[in-house]
Amino acid sequence: MFAYLVLTFLAQSIAQGDTLEVSSPSKDITVRTWISGGVPHYAVDAYDGQVIRPSKMGFTLRGAPRLGGTFRVAAHETSSFDETWEQVWGEKRFIRDRHNELRLRLEETREPKRRLDIVFRVFDDGVGFRYEFPDQEHLHYFEIMDEATEFAMTGNHTAWWIPAYKDNRYEYLYTESPISAMDKVHTPLTMKTQDGLYVSIHEAALTDFAGMAIANTGSHVLKADLVPWVDGVRVKVFVPHVSPWRTIQIARRSGDLITSYLILNLNEPNRIEDTSWITPGKYVGIWWGMHINLWTFWPGPRHGATTERAIRYLDFAADNGFLGALVEGWNVGWGGSSEGGFRYTEAVPDFDIDSVAAHAARRGVRIIGHHETNGAVANYEAQIEDAFSFYKGLGINTIKTGYVGRRIDSGEWHHGQSMVRHYRNVVELAAEMGIMLDVHEPIKDTGIRRTWPNMMTREGARGQEYNAFGENRGNPPDHDTILPFTRMLAGPFDFTPGIFDHDFRETRPDNLVQTTIAKQLAYYVVLYSPLHMAADLPENYEGQPAFQFIKDVPTDWDDTVVPAASIGDYVVIARKDRNSDDWYLGAVTDEEARTLEMPLTFLERGRRYTAEIYADGESADYETNQTDVVIRSAEVTAGSTLFLRLARGGGQAIQFRPVSGVRGPGSHP
């Protein structure tokens, strides 16, 4: 099932200005690279046109000559690679890694003749490249003050972006504009070129380096902008070392960005030998009630995390086949109840964690643990081993962490090298102790879930909670039609879907969940996460037939396809269950109602399916009637076509269950 072939060819140095090339296996994408004036350059062509114009590379160092001004190519190597590997969990079970590689071995022409390698990997869906700093006599430790990497675009393309270097981290609404209107923005940065291609710039395998933002330097030239330490240094490096991969995903259809696995392919294979304890699934939680201001995180007359309420949520999880229940606000430190900050092994008086854990064990479910730091990372690091051990002793193997706050401790950014190290250390410690993680206020995902599959999901965008307290009355209807092509190209998103009761005017009069119920159901397919929350209060699911879809929909997939999509307008995603032959489809639209013609060609030919359809009702509307949902069944085959009627701010969710292996004449419900 798995095979690979590596062919390597060595060559000697080339002259200044001579160009080396490496193409994708399909020959559709080509990288050209050369040295000009001692500076490395590269360019990218795709589908008979240019995507990246000649762009500079290199680094500015502190107290040392620039690394990238007197280079020559001392040698270069090319190789090919083809392997299919299996994800522990994911949106696609088997992923093919097929690429061609070009490695440049650079050496300065002047003393101290420092060395630097640049590696390009070219896939059929894009390009990754990184810098490698080999062990060498004249370079042991250095500090990077700037990265010179450019992405010189071919025009003033349309871009979808959120600002970088803002207090609220990644939690902003996306702006659609020409790239000339951007300043400094986060990645993934997705663009539609003037030639109709879709391009997304991000990074892969971010390890002991600063996170990369993108700066607009004018003339359609974008540049890597490394997030600094509080002292102004961008990256502190001991050699040997490697940078993250700079990634450029390229697609002719916007939906093909979603099914690109280039970022995962640029990460190292799984390092956890026994993964049997890593279990995707759904959960409920003492969470939404705090956000809509029914309860408080801190102790008092309206405290949310009480023993009684936790037991009720665990019973609800057990009765509906969920993994367990998240409990936030159970420990000392909320509301200033501890002078030294949060304490992670001490419960507040009205929460008996021992009895709650024992009840969970009796019901065959688990507590989803919670560690909020409020950005006080030093306090967390001093307790983390004891905190993990405490949870493990209670049978808790899943923890949601949080890093609310504008800065960390003494002023570090959440996405600088200091915190990149912290987040990775937490993931590796959790892996050693058999703990799965759901990280809020995180470092952005760069595919390390392949290497450390206990890193399940993370926040890192405006999720459901903003519908309770965010500006603009919450997330506008087009927000979820942009996320799959931007934030979610990085990896899973703990959006916390499933809100059925949209009316909380008594406690949050300025906010509204600007979706229909059918759209909330569609989120479970469209917004991928291996851990999905049924986020509403349990009483809001009682007597609701639409809740059946949340109970049925899996969170681990065998395959994913994107039959139709238009960034910012609508998206349709279909996924096949890893553990059955069922398919699920989710469709969402923006503030415009629309009907989409949907051929079901992704279904297996020769089989009939029962389609359980959860659709917007005739009067459904995100502003006036969010709760109108219609449930019906139809018999379909791969030759059938469905017409997906989506209300304003609406959606549709469908489960396809095989009913026979005999091909029928097809139907067109």
Residue 250 covered by a domain? yes
Q: What is the pLDDT of residues 296-316, one digit of tens each?
A: 999 999 999 999 999 999 999
Residue 1 has pLDDT above 90, yes or no: no
Q: What is the pLDDT of residues 196-232, one digit of tens each?
A: 999 999 999 999 999 999 999 999 999 999 999 999 9
Residue 311 covered by a domain? yes
Residue 192: the pLDDT is 98
Q: Are 20 and 104 within 8 A, CB to CB? A: yes
Q: Are residues 20 and 86 in the same domain?
A: yes
Residue 69 covered by a domain? yes
Q: Are residues 142 and 45 in the same domain?
A: yes
Q: Give the active site residues.
A: 465
3-state secondary structure of 386: helix
Q: Are 655 and 633 within 8 A, CB to CB? A: no
> What percentage of the chain exceeds 70 in pLDDT?
96
**What type of residue sits at position 150?**
E
Question: Omega before 669 cis (within 30°)?
Answer: no
What domain range includes position 531? 477-669
Number of domains the chain is built from: 3
Q: Are residues 259 and 276 in the same domain?
A: no
Residue 7 has pLDDT above 60, yes or no: no
The first and second tokens of residue 638, run together, are 């791969």
Residue 9: the pLDDT is 47
Q: Are residues 258 and 142 in the same domain?
A: yes
Q: Are residues 200 and 280 in the same domain?
A: no
What is the band of 17 on the pLDDT scale with cuts at 50, 70, 90? confident
Q: Of 400, 419, 453, which one is at a domain's C-terminal end? A: 453
Residue 373 covered by a domain? yes
Mean pLDDT of the chain: 95
Residue 495's CATH number: 3.20.20.70
**DSSP states of 1-22:** --------EEEEEE-TT--EEE
Residue 192's CATH number: 2.70.98.10
Q: Are residues 448 and 535 in the same domain?
A: no
User: CA 270 to CA 452: how far, in whole Å?
Assistant: 6
Q: Are residues 373 and 392 in the same domain?
A: yes
Residue 458 covered by a domain? no
Residue 3 has pLDDT above 80, yes or no: no
DSSP state of 165: S
Residue 13: the pLDDT is 62
Q: Are residues 416 and 319 in the same domain?
A: yes
The first and second tokens of residue 441, run together, are 């206020």
Q: Is 238 exposed, middle or buried (0-12, 13-18, 19+ CB in 10 A)?
A: exposed
Q: Are residues 405 and 535 in the same domain?
A: no
> What percentage of the chain exceeds 90 in pLDDT?
94
Residue 6 has pLDDT above 90, yes or no: no
Paired residues of 84 in beta bridges: 96
Residue 465 covered by a domain? no
Q: Are residues 357 and 481 in the same domain?
A: no
Q: Are residues 353 and 300 in the same domain?
A: yes
Cα angle 136, 141, 147; round to 5: 100
Q: Are residues 261 and 275 in the same domain?
A: no
User: CA 388 to CA 398: how far, in whole Å?
Assistant: 10
